[in-house]
A and B are shown apart, each in its own frame.
Chain A
Amino acid sequence: DAGITQSPRHKVTETGTPVTLRCHQTENHRYMYWYRQDPGHGLRLIHYSYGVKDTDKGEVSDGYSVSRSKTEDFLLTLESATSSQTSVYFCAISEDTKYEQYFGPGTRLTVT
């Protein structure tokens, strides 16, 4: 299994509070991604990173920000959580020379 961990694995928070999810990799892969998974939608890309301090938006980026200050960590922040952000969040990694994209175990976030 690719060395990807996500923390926390489960979180319940209240509407309007800030939330930060962490993705940590031990593979030294250049690219990192955040997806959310909702019933009937499969997975949708939120943001991705193509290097330290280099990030870009995905399909559903509104209400989310990301940061990557070092290769191994990619943070996803919900500045003010809303109920529509209740979801399962997955981090993924990939590298330049290969085509595989590997996923972490996921974080289940509930916004009440």
Chain B
Amino acid sequence: GEDVEQSLFLSVREGDSSVINCTYTDSSSTYLYWYKQEPGAGLQLLTYIFSNMDMKQDQRLTVLLNKKDKHLSLRIADTQTGDSAIYFCAEAAFSSGSARQLTFGSGTQLTVLP
């Protein structure tokens, strides 16, 4: 079955880089996602990566994918207090056409210290 694992907590100093890690088990996953959730809010899609890619960069965000080890990471450069949130990684399985069932990790609580 599918399983996605993340560490629960990460604390960093403002201005430092944050690296949030995720491991997944479904080798057939073709898309992997990172979402951000602020308190009391829904999930905001940050970025996603195709499984045939090694890296994707989008402004302060860098996603690295090691498909051999089934390891995904999200690096946030110059972390700000506004980046404090829960970050979820998710893998997609396709079914019923292009419906994408996402399997989520438990989330990593990022705390940015001043």
Contacts and interface: CB of A to CB of B under 8 A. Distances in A.
Contacts of B35: 103
Given A42-B88, A106-B42, A101 B100 contact: yes
Contacts of B4: 42
Given A41-B106, A42-B106, A50-B96, A58 B48 contact: no
Contact of B48 (A33, A59, A100): A100
Interface size class of A (residues with CB under 8 A): 20 to 34
B104 A44 contact: yes
Main SS of chain B's interface residues? strand
A45 B101 CA distance: 7
Main SS of chain A's interface residues? strand
Contacts of A43: 43, 88, 90, 102, 104
B59 interface: no
B102 A101 contact: yes
Given A40-B106, A42-B4, A43-B88, A103 B42 contact: yes
Given A99-B48, A101-B45, A103-B43, A45 B98 contact: no
Interface size class of B (residues with CB under 8 A): 20 to 34
B97 interface: yes
Given A58-B101, A99-B31, A101-B33, A42 B107 contact: yes
Contact of A94 (B41, B100, B105): B100
Contacts of A41: 106
A102 interface: yes
Contacts of A31: 97-100
Given A45-B102, A101-B102, 18 more contacts: A30-B97, A30-B98, A33-B102, A42-B4, A42-B105, A42-B106, A43-B43, A43-B90, A44-B104, A48-B99, A50-B97, A94-B100, A101-B45, A101-B100, A103-B35, A103-B43, A103-B45, A106-B41
Going nearest first, the 7 A-B pairs with the smallest beta carbon separation are A42-B104, A103-B43, A50-B96, A103-B42, A43-B104, A105-B42, A42-B106
